[in-house]
Amino acid sequence: MIALKNIALALDNDSFDLLELVTILELTKDKLNINTISEMARQENKSPNGIRVSNKYRKIKIGKQIMVVKGVDNSNLPF
């Protein structure tokens, strides 16, 4: 858990260059079940609105696209 704290602090302090940030993003996306709302709805046989309002998926805005992560509850915490 200490390594996570160090990485979070390094991210906050802009200690990584752009290439390193892209590499981190690519590595983590492979470990997460992350999709758009529409694609998650298709996978789960639910409506997009059902996914959008459900608290069973973490919603993350990447650029202009809202992505959902299955397995992590949506909370109002900033981290």
CA dihedral 10, 12, 13, 19 (to 10 degrees): 70
Compute the distance between CA of residue 73 and CA of residue 7 in angstroms, rounded to an integer: 22
Task: Write down the pLDDT at residue 74.
Answer: 81
Is 68 within 8 Å of 54 (Cβ atoms)?
A: no
pLDDT along the chain (79 residues), means of 10: 84 92 90 93 96 93 94 73
pTM for this model (two decimals): 0.75
Rounded Cα–Cα distance for residues 53 and 46 (Å): 12
**Per-residue confidence (pLDDT) for residue 72, from 0 to 100:** 86
